[in-house]
Amino acid sequence: MPHETNSQKTSIITITGIVQGVGFRPFVWQLANDMGLKGEVLNNGQGVQIILNLKGDEQGKFLNRLETETPPLAKITKIEITEVPQFQKFQSFKIRPSEQGEMKTQISPDAATCKACIKEITSPKEHRYNYPFTNCTHCGPRLSIIYEAPYDRATTSMAPFKMCDKCQKEYEDPSDRRFHAQPIACSTCGPELELKWLCQTTQPSILINQGEPIKVAADLIKAGFIGAIKGLGGFHLSCLASEGKLVEELRRRKKRSNKAFALMCRDCAQAKNYGFFSTEALTLLESPAAPIVLVEKTCQKLPKAIAPGLHEVGIMLPNTPLHHLLLAEFDEPLIMTSGNLSNMPQLITNEEAQTELANVADFALLNNRLITNRVDDSVVRISHGKSSMLRRARGYAPAPIPLPKGFEKAPDIIACGAELKSTFCMVKNQEAILSQHLGDLEHVPTFEAYQNTIALYTDLFEFQPELRVIDEHPEYLSSKLGMEQSVKDQIPLVKVQHHHAHMASALGESGHGFNEENCLGLILDGIGFGEDQTIWGGELLYGNYAEFKRIGAFEEVALLGGSAAVKEPWRNLFAHCEGAIGWEALQNKFSDLPVFKYMSEKPLPTLRTMMKKGINSPLSSSCGRLFDAVAASLEISIDQVTYEGEAAMQLEALVSKDLYLELPEDELYKAEYKCEGQLIKVNFAPLWKELFKDLSKKKSKNFIATKFHKSLTYILLDWIKLSVHTLNLGKKPSGSDSNLKIALSGGCFQNNTLLENLALLLEKNGFKPIIQTELPANDGGISYGQALIAAAKHLTAKQT
């Protein structure tokens, strides 16, 4: 061997994680050249492999920079180093063609325009000045343009655009930030904009086919028109946010009466004028995912119609060059809400937008790059100091979620999710791939998209399930489809209880291991199918992934009219009060209250008969319906809700933070606890009696809403303490409480007042609350929990 080996060695560094298609090889090439190192880098089946000649402390320095200067979209999960026994001398540093077995299964989420690309589109001297489809390996479309694996230009909707010489050169140049950037484009060769007038009844005074489409679109919006704008994962509807009448007109045309509209702000400075942003919230806002961030409204000038009855507003920053260029034309935010008719999925094709939005938008800003997968805007807020996902889609999906310890031998699983806010989840190679939010399956186009997306992910991730998991609810379309499919593929089917899946979802993302101790799950939800054939939704569970026991529940209340009770909060007010105290007794005592006048016009005797005879009034322990009932008692959304959770959200908006802190503990509403065997039930009769007294004392809605929220946290705490004590749970041999974990999940935990205050209270009382952060606490996170439960059952069966 040459004597060089004394000072030099050859090392192989293997890097796994999200390292392909994110500019990792050019990054390594630049780093090696910068440090004067020789060797090569390539993609292979594990990830990225680097072979280097190293001496002295070069290895440490190289690894340090590798980990600290990682490209924005890359995520290193593991670095392995081996030394080659035989010294292999390199003359330079090269990017070697990929080896056979290159990972086909890496699709990164779509990413908002990076700083370097923003600089290019805003610098007049640059080739891509004003070009709305500029991107590079650090940013741009991914999931929203792919048809099939592997991720390559030919398998994306960029295939029809033949690269010009300039783009080709950049694509092939390892030192360029567009090296192997599949969606690379410029104004010479890439997609183009097209502006179309849609409105049949009016004509704009602005000539729409003259001038830059973005500038004309901006002029139209400034003139008070509503535009349909094709974004990254679907169409948006956009108009001036400052004009209340216009926002109301958009609501009328879109047939969406109350659900909040999001705002798009030009930059952080502008965003801060409209909402309160903590440092954490700003980081989220500016992240490559560029989600809608829910923050406290601070600008009183914003029209009420943007988020009727709510205290928060959803704000996002531009996520494509098109949005940057458009927003640069305005000194104020724009409404940027999904381009669809109420309850339908966001539209993605030019044709659909022109036909279905013809009566909604006045004009459409189209382009000729196809969106292959609908990817809605993600919605996140900061809760208890951490990010808390409300809707996981653009910018997040399909990034893998690790499985907790102990699941290393999990089989390949597909979990079908629930019915509302649907997602599905695939487990493969010790990772979970959760689909983007797909919506409510009861709408035919959504159910079709759900099935197509399963097919796409199956192909993208070369997935062959060994197990299929469904919710126990036999009527969920996801359950029916799952049953059909498992007969077809002849693979075992596992049914998972809805709230157990919520619990497992929270535990799993917190890293709670397969073999760790049992813990509690406090699941506060709308409705889900229970094991005893009743409808659950206010549950205290004890157990783990493989098994659970229901140890507590809210006392059942009738859902009068079945699904009608979900839409009409007054039904829940009647059912709660009739069940707890008797409506007539209340009415006799508090007949002056306006709520009784309202209720007197409802067919109460019929409902009473239905309740008594159990006709179309299934029993439910739902926490969501309790919120509806309390909101209705304050005449909030009493008649009808237009979207899930509306009444509860409006009730939460009335909470006063100062009053919350001031209210003494001993003056709060109380509940009663009843032991039924091993099950402790919560009865809210005492709460209702006091609440009506407060109403008759003319206490304000803010007071009662605040008192209810605070009372509920103490009622829940007492319930948990009583259950732990009665069942002697979580005791260590010494007898001291063992810092018992409590998974908090279910749709009601999207109520931030409830979540943050309950988490604090539980911590103060020696418990360890587990909060959902990366996955939604609502049904959007359920499929991940389902997959973990099925894996755990499978692993347990194998052990025994």
Using the minimum distance from each CB to Zn ion, give the nearer residue, 190 or 552.
190
Q: Does residue 668 interact with Zn ion by CB under 5 A?
A: no
Q: Does residue 112 interact with Zn ion by CB under 5 A?
A: no
272: DSSP letter: T
Pick the stretch among 39-47, 167-175, 207-215, 313-321 that binds Zn ion (CB under 5 A).
167-175
Which of residues 159, 189, 199, 370 is near Zn ion by CB under 5 A?
Answer: 189
Pick the stretch among 186-194, 333-341, 400-408, 771-779 that binds Zn ion (CB under 5 A).
186-194
Using the minimum distance from each CB to Zn ion, give the nearer residue, 176 or 556.
176
> Smallest gap, in angstroms, from Cβ of residue 192 to Zn ion?
12
Pairing label, strands 8-18, 48-55:
antiparallel
> Smallest gap, in angstroms, from Cβ of residue 122 to Zn ion?
13
> Smallest gap, in angstroms, from Cβ of residue 164 to Zn ion?
4
DSSP per residue, 339-351:
SSSTTSPPP-SHH
In angstroms, the CA 478 to CA 466 distance is 18
Pick the stretch among 117-125, 378-386, 407-415, 486-494 that binds Zn ion (CB under 5 A).
117-125
Site for Zn ion in 132-161 (CB under 5 A): 136, 138-139
Pick the stretch among 184-192, 303-311, 692-700, 744-752 that binds Zn ion (CB under 5 A).
184-192
Pick the stretch among 86-94, 106-114, 493-501, 511-519 that binds Zn ion (CB under 5 A).
106-114
Residue 498 and residue 529 in contact, taking contact as beta carbons nearer than 8 Å: yes
Which of residues 50, 52, 186, 522 is near Zn ion by CB under 5 A?
Answer: 186
Using the minimum distance from each CB to Zn ion, give the nearer residue, 117 or 226.
117
Using the minimum distance from each CB to Zn ion, give the nearer residue, 186 or 220.
186
Which of residues 188, 429, 464, 700 is near Zn ion by CB under 5 A?
Answer: 188
Strands (E), 627-782: 672-676, 679-683, 741-745, 768-771
> Smallest gap, in angstroms, from Cβ of residue 718 to Zn ion?
53
> Smallest gap, in angstroms, from Cβ of residue 63 to Zn ion?
26
Longest dimension (CA), the chain: 102
> Smallest gap, in angstroms, from Cβ of residue 114 to Zn ion?
3
Cβ partners under 8 Å of residue 578, min gap 6: 607, 608, 611
Using the minimum distance from each CB to Zn ion, give the nearer residue, 115 or 699.
115
Sign of the Cα torsion 468, 469, 472, 476 reads: negative
Identify the residue whose tokens are 């089917």.
493
Pick the stretch among 130-138, 265-273, 572-580, 661-669 that binds Zn ion (CB under 5 A).
130-138
DSSP per residue, 296-331:
EE--TTS-GGGSTT-SEEEEE---SHHHHHHHTT-S
Residue 150 and residue 209 in contact, taking contact as beta carbons nearer than 8 Å: no
Residue from 465, 548, 436 nearest 110 by CA: 436
Using the minimum distance from each CB to Zn ion, give the nearer residue, 33 or 187.
187
Dihedral-angle region of residue 38 (phi above 0 means left; psi in -120 to 50 means alpha; beta otherwise): beta
Pick the stretch among 163-171, 346-354, 662-670, 718-726 that binds Zn ion (CB under 5 A).
163-171
In angstroms, the CA 538 to CA 530 distance is 11
> Smallest gap, in angstroms, from Cβ of residue 334 to Zn ion?
23
Which of residues 76, 164, 483, 663 is near Zn ion by CB under 5 A?
Answer: 164
Using the minimum distance from each CB to Zn ion, give the nearer residue, 141 or 526.
141
> Smallest gap, in angstroms, from Cβ of residue 113 to Zn ion?
6
> Smallest gap, in angstroms, from Cβ of residue 117 to Zn ion?
3
Using the minimum distance from each CB to Zn ion, give the nearer residue, 32 or 114.
114
Using the minimum distance from each CB to Zn ion, give the nearer residue, 15 or 139.
139
Three-class SS state of 657: helix
Using the minimum distance from each CB to Zn ion, give the nearer residue, 167 or 353.
167
> Smallest gap, in angstroms, from Cβ of residue 151 to Zn ion?
17
Q: What are phi and psi of 742, to 5 degrees?
A: -130, 115
Site for Zn ion in 434-473 (CB under 5 A): none
Residue from 13, 12, 17, 11 nearest 103 by CA: 17
In Å, what is the CA distance from 510 to each residue of 180, 583, 624, 741? 35, 44, 25, 11
DSSP per residue, 719-762:
HHHHHHHHHT-SB-TTSSB---EEEEESGGGG-HHHHHHHHHHH
- For 249-288, letters b (16+ CB in 10 Å) and e give ebbebbebebbbbbbbbbeeebbbebbebeeebbebbbbb
Which of residues 167, 237, 327, 393 is near Zn ion by CB under 5 A?
Answer: 167
Dihedral angle over CA of 295, 300, 306, 309, nearest 10: 80
Cβ partners under 8 Å of residue 475, min gap 6: none
Using the minimum distance from each CB to Zn ion, give the nearer residue, 21 or 345.
21
Angle at 197 between CA 196 and CA 203, to 5 degrees: 155
> Smallest gap, in angstroms, from Cβ of residue 621 to Zn ion?
50
Q: Helices marked H in 490-563 — which ranges?
A: 498-510
> Smallest gap, in angstroms, from Cβ of residue 167 to Zn ion?
3
Residue from 407, 405, 425, 406 nearest 415 by CA: 425
Using the minimum distance from each CB to Zn ion, give the nearer residue, 30 or 706.
30
Residue 236 and residue 338 in contact, taking contact as beta carbons nearer than 8 Å: yes
> Smallest gap, in angstroms, from Cβ of residue 368 to Zn ion?
15
User: How far separated are the first and last CA of the chain, in Å rounded?
Assistant: 55
Pick the stretch among 145-153, 180-188, 387-395, 586-594 that binds Zn ion (CB under 5 A).
180-188
Using the minimum distance from each CB to Zn ion, give the nearer residue, 102 or 192.
192
> Smallest gap, in angstroms, from Cβ of residue 36 to Zn ion?
28
Pick the stretch among 107-115, 360-368, 441-449, 778-786 that binds Zn ion (CB under 5 A).
107-115
Sign of the Cα torsion 279, 283, 286, 291 reads: negative
Which of residues 15, 32, 51, 114 is near Zn ion by CB under 5 A?
Answer: 114
Q: Does residue 117 interact with Zn ion by CB under 5 A?
A: yes
Using the minimum distance from each CB to Zn ion, give the nearer residue, 117 or 467.
117
Pick the stretch among 178-186, 212-220, 714-722, 791-799 that binds Zn ion (CB under 5 A).
178-186
Identify the residue whose tokens are 């989420």.
109
Using the minimum distance from each CB to Zn ion, give the nearer residue, 72 or 686.
72
> Smallest gap, in angstroms, from Cβ of residue 171 to Zn ion?
9
> Smallest gap, in angstroms, from Cβ of residue 136 to Zn ion?
3
Pick the stretch among 183-191, 391-399, 510-518, 591-599 that binds Zn ion (CB under 5 A).
183-191
Sign of the Cα torsion 110, 111, 117, 121 reads: positive
In angstroms, the CA 16 to CA 28 distance is 14
Using the minimum distance from each CB to Zn ion, give the nearer residue, 167 or 425.
167
Three-class SS state of 64: helix
Using the minimum distance from each CB to Zn ion, give the nearer residue, 175 or 464.
175
Cβ partners under 8 Å of residue 784, min gap 6: 401, 415, 425, 432, 434, 504, 505, 508, 509, 775
In Å, what is the CA distance from 449 to each residue of 337, 342, 376, 397, 436? 20, 17, 12, 15, 11
Number of residues forming the site for Zn ion (CB under 5 A): 10
Pick the stretch among 81-89, 187-195, 343-351, 451-459 that binds Zn ion (CB under 5 A).
187-195
> Smallest gap, in angstroms, from Cβ of residue 366 to Zn ion?
20
> Smallest gap, in angstroms, from Cβ of residue 309 to Zn ion?
39
Using the minimum distance from each CB to Zn ion, give the nearer residue, 129 or 276.
129
Which residues form the interface with Zn ion (CB under 5 A)? 114, 117, 136, 138-139, 164, 167, 186, 188-189
